[in-house]
Amino acid sequence: MKRKLLSLVCAVTMVASLLVGCGGATETADTGSADSGEAASTEASGDYADMKVGVCIYQFSDNFMTLFRNELQSYLISQGFAEGNISIVDGANDQATQTGQIDNFIASGVDVLIVNLVNSSSAPTITDKVVAAGIPLVYINREPDAEEEARWSENGWNVTYVGCDARQSGTMQGEMIVDVGLDKLDMNGNGKVDYIMIEGDPENVDAQYRTEFSVKALTDAGLEVNELADEVANWDQAQAQEKVQNALGMHGNDIEVVFCNNDAMALGALQSIQAAGRTVNEDIYLVGVDALTEVLEDVIAGTITGTVFNDHIAQSHSAADAAIKFATGGTNEYYIGCDYVKVTTENAQEVLDSLK
Ligand code: GAL
């Protein structure tokens, strides 16, 4: 297991060094609010200098999607896109707003669209209008359901999805808790692991799978579990802070583990845990997903038990590569995957260094 972990870290480190080599880590200003009419501030040199790409992000204030979109923009520029031809828009967590933005991109004649849906269930409507306009489409981060994905291959449409399998991240969260061992976990001595679950957007398969598979890893390892609370905090730090504060008020020392579907919520959970006078890795355990810098620092300091690296670098590059392939007349697989990496005190520093 350790060897596997180490090789995964090596893979992460290699990706990072490759990135520096190909200029993927270029720093660029946040043009999040740019629209397609804005003048280009960077001269593009490659073959794609005239190519226009529209990027729809479900919500700019989301920490992980901010890392993703900044890397996506840097990478597209490093591949030869003109900065002014990359339009990245904020769906403000509202599907109607995002659908309007997609209509505008279609009307302005972009060569390709990259879409992080607000609601995955809107995929059929969005796919239909984008395909009808003859524009290739790359979905990212929020996976449409199997029925929708089947339509793409059945019809031979230029539509794909780029993302990771959230079951893997949930399993890794659970495994990190299993590794702590029942002796340490079972502080109230009831023979069970008593936990609370803090969920992201419940419509999102990442939230559903992480919730299910984190706990499944415990039961698969033969541990008995007891769910004290299951709260929705929509991927958001402040909402998680409040939900965990309430749960601690209600269940107090009985809470042995806090599972958060992402790191932003783990940071909120940590604020409430500390405010309640509890100490992570001593009298409570806490895990997240994403590997945000702040959380990696907490894992190193021992104030968060562990996280899972959600590789925004590989995902954004794969999305850009797929978009380029479509826009230049090529085809893509209908699902383009990516592996998560478990992050504990053993490799957190290495992962942090690889992201700098
Ligand atoms: C997840 C990520 C969350 C949030 C969400 C948005 O993959 O872990 O932090 O960004 O995507 O859909």
pLDDT one-digit tens code per residue, 235-246: 999 999 999 999
The residue type of 322 is A
**Range 302-328 burial, b when 16+ CB lie within 10 A, else e:** ebbbbbbbbbbbbbbbbbbbbbbbbbe
- Out of 60, 64, 140, give the residue to mutate to test ligand 1, the one with the largest number of ligand atoms within 8 Å of its CB: 64
Q: Is the per-residue pLDDT at 10 higher than 90?
A: no
Strands 159-162 and 335-336: parallel
Distance (Å, rounded) from C-alpha 16 to C-alpha 39? 31
pLDDT one-digit tens code per residue, 21-54: 333 333 333 333 333 333 333 344 457 999 999 9
Closest-CA residue, ligand 1 atom 1, reads 206
Q: Counting atoms of ligand 1 from 1, which one is nearest the CA of 164?
A: 7
- Predicted confidence at residue 46, as pLDDT, reads 54
pTM, full prediction = 0.87
User: How many structural domains are present in the chain?
Assistant: 1
- Predicted confidence at residue 210, as pLDDT, reads 98
Residue 186: inside a domain: yes
Residue 98: inside a domain: no
Q: What is the mean pLDDT of residues 256-280?
A: 98
Q: Is the CB of residue 120 below 6 angstroms from any atom belonging to ligand 1?
A: no
Angle CA 256–228–251, to nearest 5: 70
Closest-CA residue, ligand 1 atom 10, reads 64
- Predicted confidence at residue 224, as pLDDT, reads 98
3 state DSSP class of 309: strand
- Out of 162, 261, 290, 294, give the residue to mutate to test ligand 1, the one with the largest number of ligand atoms within 8 Å of its CB: 290
Domain containing residue 297: 167-309
The enclosing H or E element of 335 equals strand 335-336
Q: Is the per-residue pLDDT at 110 higher than 50?
A: yes
The CATH number linked to 263 is 3.40.50.2300
Q: What is the mean pLDDT of residues 252-256?
A: 97
Decide which of 217 and 28 is more confident: 217
Residue 66: inside a domain: no
Place of tokens 């038990």: 305
Closest-CA residue, ligand 1 atom 11, reads 141
Question: Which two tokens mark 116?
Answer: 């992080």
Residue 229: inside a domain: yes
Residue 66 neighbours by CB under 8 Å, 6+ apart = 60
Residue 219: inside a domain: yes
- Predicted confidence at residue 15, as pLDDT, reads 40
Residue 155: inside a domain: no
Residue 116: inside a domain: no
Q: Counting atoms of ligand 1 from 1, which one is nearest the CA of 290?
A: 8
Of the pLDDT bands very low, low, confident and very high (cuts 50, 70, 90), residue 106 is very high
Q: Is the CB of residue 289 below 6 angstroms from any atom belonging to ligand 1?
A: yes
Distance (Å, rounded) from C-alpha 248 to C-alpha 246? 5
